[in-house]
Amino acid sequence: MERESIPQQLLTDCHQLGHYPASSLLLNRNAALPWFILVPETPLADFLDLPDPQQQRVLAECTSVSAFIKRELGYDKVNFAGLGNVVSAMHLHIIGRRVGDACWPQPVWGNLPDGGVYSTGQLQDWQARLVDVTGLVPAAL
């Protein structure tokens, strides 16, 4: 999948933060929780169908975003999922969770209240920190 071909639904629901060698990184617009979405560059729909080398690269990128959520944002739990029931193109959810968050202990799907939106300053701060900590190549915000 080319970076320009990120599904429209994801572009509507998310901010484009940048890209890594194997994928693009998005952030859900709902600021209730840090909900990142990694979109691997592939025409395949399921993560487990990726060839091993690409799967390892994508998983390493997911791991770096998870570490960012824990170390930089202070969340002690990260939910990780690849569903694709609504948006069929492969995309992986990496979501910071903690006891007492906006929908704890329920899953975010169907339970996440409106948490407002991220300010431009918050987006720029997180993007800059992701550049420093994970090697993200930034997109224009």
Q: What is the pLDDT of residue 2?
A: 38
Q: What is the pLDDT of residue 4?
A: 53
pLDDT > 90? residue 138: yes
Looking at the domain that runs over 3-133, which CATH code has it been given?
3.30.428.10
pLDDT > 50? residue 18: yes
9 alpha-carbon distance from chain centroid: 14
In angstroms, the CA 38 to CA 62 distance is: 7
Q: What is the pLDDT of residue 1?
A: 36
Which of residues 84 and 105 earns the better pLDDT score? 105
In angstroms, the CA 22 to CA 114 distance is: 31
Q: What are the domain boundaries of the chain?
A: 3-133
Across-strand partners of 25? 18, 38
Q: What is the pLDDT of residue 76?
A: 96
Q: Do residues 129 and 65 make contact, with C-beta atoms less than 8 angstroms apart?
A: no
Q: Which residues contact 128 (CB under 8 A, 6 or more apart)?
A: 138
pLDDT tens, 19-36?
Answer: 999 999 999 999 999 999
- What percent of the chain has pLDDT above 70? 97
Q: Which residues contact 37 (CB under 8 A, 6 or more apart)?
A: 10, 14, 25, 26, 27, 28, 91, 92, 93, 94
Q: Do residues 33 and 115 make contact, with C-beta atoms less than 8 angstroms apart?
A: yes
